[in-house]
A and B are shown apart, each in its own frame.
Chain A
Amino acid sequence: MQKRGLAFRKTIDIVLKGLSILFVALTVFMMFWILYTVISNGVKALNWSFLTQPTKPYGIPDGGVLNALLGTVIITFGAVLIGVPAGLLGGIYLAEFAKENRLGNLIRFSANVMMGIPSIIVGLFVYALLVFTTKHFSGLTGSVALSIIMFPVVLRTTEDMLRMVPDSLRESALALGMPRWKATFSIICRAAKTGLITGILLAIARVSGETAPLLFTAQCSDSWPGSYFTQPTANLTVLINEYAGNSPFEEMHVRAWGAALLITAAILILNISCRFIFKESKSAK
């Protein structure tokens, strides 16, 4: 180490401590800036017809976002139906049967890599797989795209949660003569219940704000999401993209802010309550 004066070293230390406080404050400030923008612009759009009317083309008064809201809920729900069972089962395999073997490590590795694959690539993939072959866009393909994003997240959290269950519980269940599946579902999964639910909710929160994969799959429409299986289905995030990015009309920008407020509030509430549930159950133990 080269020689440095004490005063110099102390100054560097103080400067960097100051910088660190500044950076943290700046980041938190940016977060509040974004939230403030969304809330202050979003509440202007909130009124009765905004929440009860479907989207309407520009010029027709009292359009709302109810169909897009329902569409987002249905598409996300579809993604949960496809992605969560697959993720849970896969997580069970990793935690119960493949703790330290090659195959398990390969699966773990690809799940981790998959979590980092850009969501727009998933959109392209599902477009190529389903839309290109069946020749129509639909809400269902949107659900498939979201489920592919969800799957590795649920897989890894399930594995982590099941691994936290002590082995003695496993052994005592098996010692009673239970078949493995029964022991897993009724003893081990039950013991890890809160963790599993939190993981699933966080995965839902993560995918429900996704836009890029839906651009190529669910797209957007002004109709009600009744034709989920065969037609483009309205959803909040693509609607925001259309209204804010591709529309010059002030009225549509206001509605886009309203939709942004709905989706942000839903996701943040989901996130905060998850952390709360998980903390509660941890402190109860």
Chain B
Amino acid sequence: MEKCKKHGLISPEQSDRLFRFFTACAALLAVMLMIGFFIQLFWLSIPAIKEFGFRFLISTEWDPMNNVYGALPAITGTLVTTAIAILIAAPVSFISAMFLVENAPTWIGVPVSHALDLLAAIPSIIYGMWGLFVFVPFMQNHVQPFLAETLHLKFIPLFSGPYNGFGFLTAGIILALMVLPFICAVMRDVFRLVPPVLKESAFGAGATSWEVTCDITMRYGARGLLGAVFLGLGRAVGETMAVLFVIGNTQLLPKSLFQSGSTIAATLANNFAEADGIFKSSLFELGLVLLGMSFLIQVLAQMWLNRLSRKMGER
């Protein structure tokens, strides 16, 4: 090896080692950034943590005049909008994936799949703008009166209150539309993953195609489907621009779905520019809460989806 002819300044072995080192450094950036997010946000939220302690997470006070902040309205707002989004998007994408993979002829299935991919590519601010100028009036004039009066749901507190178009329900529906293509794409993969032998034997035993989907695909791909839902959750929980435009931005606990409120991300985007001192620190703490939530969701999603890809590899 020593006798190897030198190429310029460094030998091939050295260059290989250098190459490996540099690429490893670049790859390790992913881990370092991930840790950096937590450290940096924690560091800047220390003043707020010292000031408010654990109360920050359970207090509903939001008073920039007296510099008292509580995160509960924003946190519940995030949970409510995300829950609405997933409750709509998960069943709809499941059934749509079933249609696209099992029942649709290719000339419908392929273009529709592409259309869904394009829906996922539309920037979130466009959803926000469309929501503000088109969907909010539509909700106000058609959907909210329909739910409250035509369906007589007014007596449930969730559907009470004036119809102003803004609020949790509108934000939830727009979020559902945004996460649907992502959930649907993974679910389509799960449907394709089920071994045809399993499906065919069920069909052979006389099952209808819904029964095959429900009893075979759903059982076989449960983890993948759950991973898909969590992937959607992760998107919905931190979505900013689309929510910001239609949620109304008031720091109130949700009493009705028609009421305006706020989410963590919307609060950040709305207040960050004017904030300083303890206010800014509180916003960083809110950011830390959001980071923690989405980290947890992503870790769960990855655990389930990893098994899915391993299964794919086995085939």
Contact = CB atoms under 8 A, between A and B. Distances in A.
A128 B128 CA distance: 26
B302 to A, nearest CB: 5
Nearest to A126: B40
Interface string B10-46: 0010011001101111111111011011001101100
Nearest to B268: A120
Contacts of B241: 211-212, 241
B23 A240 contact: no
A128 B208 contact: no
Interface stretch (A31-39, A55-63, A164-172, A189-197): A31-39
A146 B313 CA distance: 33
Contacts of A151: 29-30, 33
Given A23-B95, A107-B30, A124-B287, 12 more contacts: A27-B116, A34-B127, A90-B30, A106-B31, A118-B240, A148-B33, A211-B240, A241-B128, A244-B128, A244-B132, A245-B132, A271-B117
10 contacts: A41-B133, A116-B231, A118-B239, A118-B265, A122-B37, A209-B125, A215-B273, A244-B129, A271-B118, A275-B114
A271 B297 contact: no
A187 interface: no
Contacts of A13: 208-211
A21 interface: yes
A237 interface: yes
B95 A98 contact: no
Contacts, number: 255
Given A93-B27, A212-B241, A216-B272, A121 B294 contact: yes
Interface in B115-164: 115-119, 121-130, 132-134
A104 B30 CA distance: 11
A87 B28 CA distance: 10
Nearest to B123: A209
Interface string A112-123: 111011111110
Given A12-B208, A118-B237, A268-B118, A179 B294 contact: no
Interface size class of B (residues with CB under 8 A): 35 or more
Contacts of A81: none
Nearest to B21: A93
B128 A245 contact: yes
Interface string A90-108: 1111101110000110110
B36 A111 contact: no
B290 A118 contact: yes
B222 interface: no
Contacts of A46: none
Interface string B162-177: 0000000000000001
Nearest to B239: A118
A229 B281 CA distance: 26
A27 B93 CA distance: 10
B15 to A, nearest CB: 5
Contacts of A263: 123, 125-126
Contacts of B299: 113
A180 interface: yes
Contact of B95 (A16, A125, A184): A16
